[in-house]
Homo-oligomer: A and B are copies of this chain.
Amino acid sequence: MPVSETVEISGHLMDTGVLALVLDDVLEYGGDYVIDRFDVGRTAEDESHVVVTVRHDDDESLQRLLMRLQAHGMNAVDPGEAVIRRAERDGVFPDNFYATTNLETVVRLGGHWVPVDSPEMNCGLKVVDSRVQTVPVSDVRAGDQVVCGAAGVKVVLPVHERSTRADSAFAVADSAGHSDQAPASLVRQIAARMREVKDDGGRILWVAGPAVVHTGGCPALVTLVEAGYVDVLFAGNALATRDIEAAMLGRLPAVDLSRAAEVDHGHEHHIRAINAIRKAGSIVGAVEQGLLTSGIMHALVRKGARFVLVGSVRDDGPLPDVHTDVVEGQRAMRMELRGVGLTVMVATRLHSIATGNILPASVPLVCVDINPATVTRLAERVSGHGVGIVTDTGLFLEQLVRELIPSYGAAAVG
């Protein structure tokens, strides 16, 4: 039986193309639409307002379509109350569960709009007391109160500032990888943003891959750690191993730079480094025992910064600090997101995507990689707050530290 719902959206619809996306999705999901009302902004400054009635063959299909439209910020005119159902088994959502985006979301409970804590994509929504939390399917437990269907849920789209007339301090590259700005000037803006975040008491999250070591970025990243610009690091076994191997050998191991992003199998030095840290019990133990005296991991330990290492199926070892269970690893990463005001991802695809999966869309994100596909992929995860730079990681870090700490460059030149 055909069912329908009336949805609406306001904003700079004319110059963002969001309406085209919305109508496209209606058709792709097998629905149909009628535009009921279109109050168009007459000038570049005016907002527009659109009201659309969408129809589908059955309620379940309509609910899924409505959830999809929310990802574009198009919500029901009359959303009503949220529908709550009980999870019947551990690790399984009720059938028609609401699947989340990473956008700011509110849920109507008992006549009030309740904001969702720390929005994360591809989760469910769990109601605990009068609060609403995201919960991954692996963490849902029998008896949890789970929001189902699109009723009573609204997504609040971030305000898209047009880049050509933006006067915000933090200019952005758009989601297609286009930019009006050159990398060198973007580095300056990233440095400025990092200072702002620290001045506001925010935390800076770094996600890094082993190419930081291979491209000679260690001294620059160590300097950033020591200066307090790295509050928490997400990485895998490879970055930590290569850093420790280089620190223990006293030099950069010979590697193939062209494939540096993932080379975790130079000769066998790395497996000996891993064994030595395993013997020490942990990275912190190795620092305390005087076994590890330099490098990125050493600097993090000394500075008291946080790190979460999550393993992958291609790892050797791994180091004793590495989470070998990836779901546990995701949980450990989520615990470190509080207060993060900027995320900087350098030279890792796997851990950057993993971080993008759990980050709210509202956290600005910088992604630097020599592979354009990685940069484009991550830039699409955020809504208006992303910068992507395709370049060598070592040169990026060197230039960033010169912007933040002018004496670094002077010393290097002199």
Which positions in A face B, CB cutoff 8 Å? 14-17, 19-21, 23-24, 26-28, 32-36, 38, 40-44, 64, 67-68, 89, 91-93, 95, 97, 99, 121-122, 136-138, 162, 164-165, 173, 176-185, 187, 214-217, 220, 236, 252, 254-259, 262, 265, 267-268, 270-272, 274-275, 278-279, 310-318, 320, 324-330, 333, 349-351, 353-354, 357, 370, 372-373, 376-377, 389-392, 394-396, 398-399, 402-403, 406, 409-410, 413-414
Max chain B C-beta neighbours (<10 A), residue from A36, A187, A236, A413: A413
Would A353 and B182 count as touching, CB distance under 8 A?
Answer: no
Would A183 and B377 count as touching, CB distance under 8 A?
Answer: no
Contacts of A317 in B (CB 8 A): 137-138
Q: When chains A and B are docked, how far (Å) is the Cα of A20 from the Cα of B174?
A: 14
Would A390 and B262 count as touching, CB distance under 8 A?
Answer: no
Would A179 and B68 count as touching, CB distance under 8 A?
Answer: no
Closest to A253 in B: B180
Closest to A165 in B: B27
Would B310 and A215 count as touching, CB distance under 8 A?
Answer: no
A-B interface, 5 closest residue pairs, ranked by CB to CB distance from nearest: A182-B216, A391-B392, A17-B20, A99-B268, A17-B17
Would A27 and B164 count as touching, CB distance under 8 A?
Answer: yes
Q: When chains A and B are docked, how far (Å) is the Cα of A44 from the Cα of B316?
A: 34
Contact pick for A185, options B24, B183, B216, CB 8 Å:
B216
Contact pick for A33, options B43, B326, B351, CB 8 Å:
B43
Max chain B C-beta neighbours (<10 A), residue from A33, A216, A220, A258: A258
Q: When chains A and B are docked, how far (Å) is the Cα of A270 from the Cα of B67?
A: 14
Would A164 and B20 count as touching, CB distance under 8 A?
Answer: no
Q: When chains A and B are docked, how far (Å) is the Cα of A376 from the Cα of B113?
A: 44
Contact pick for A325, options B21, B43, B324, B409, CB 8 Å:
B324
Would A370 and B398 count as touching, CB distance under 8 A?
Answer: no
Max chain B C-beta neighbours (<10 A), residue from A23, A99, A257: A257
Q: When chains A and B are docked, how far (Å) is the Cα of A398 from the Cα of B15?
A: 35
A7 to chain B, nearest CB (A): 14
A174 to chain B, nearest CB (A): 10
Contact pick for A313, options B35, B181, B350, CB 8 Å:
B350
Contacts of A24 in B (CB 8 A): 15, 164
A155 to chain B, nearest CB (A): 13
Would A215 and B183 count as touching, CB distance under 8 A?
Answer: yes
Contacts of A91 in B (CB 8 A): 278, 320
Closest to A91 in B: B278
